[in-house]
Amino acid sequence: MAEETIFSKIIRREIPSDIVWQDELVTAFRDISPQAPTHILIVPNLLIPTLNDVSEAHEQALGRMLTVAAKLAAQEGIAEDGYRVIMNCNRHGGQEVYHIHLHLLGGRMLGPMLTHKG
């Protein structure tokens, strides 16, 4: 069984967080260290450690993560100008919390995804 994370406690509202969406499948809350004017994390309520652990049984929750991202982008007023969604996987991908999560970022020009390092 996967090891519980801080996100599990946020989902259960055991620790304070600025939750902007919650339903039976996903929870979304503002990042405590935002990298853009809008930076919201969207997580499945079921603990899935990495994208490598995703199965067909998770498809409904993963689809909901994307539809919630679009709804929140509209609510935040960033849909028209544009926004970015990012999901990191494992250490080289930049994953820090091993409970998959989608970053919704916007509110300014975000620049290139990656810079070339020779």
Catalytic residues: 101
Quote the CA–CA distance of 33 and 51 in Å, as a whole number.
23
Contact 23, 31 (CB under 8 A): no
Quote the CA–CA distance of 56 and 84 in Å, as a whole number.
25
Residues whose CB is less than 8 angstroms from the CB of residue 91 and which lie 6 or more positions away in sequence, other chains included: none
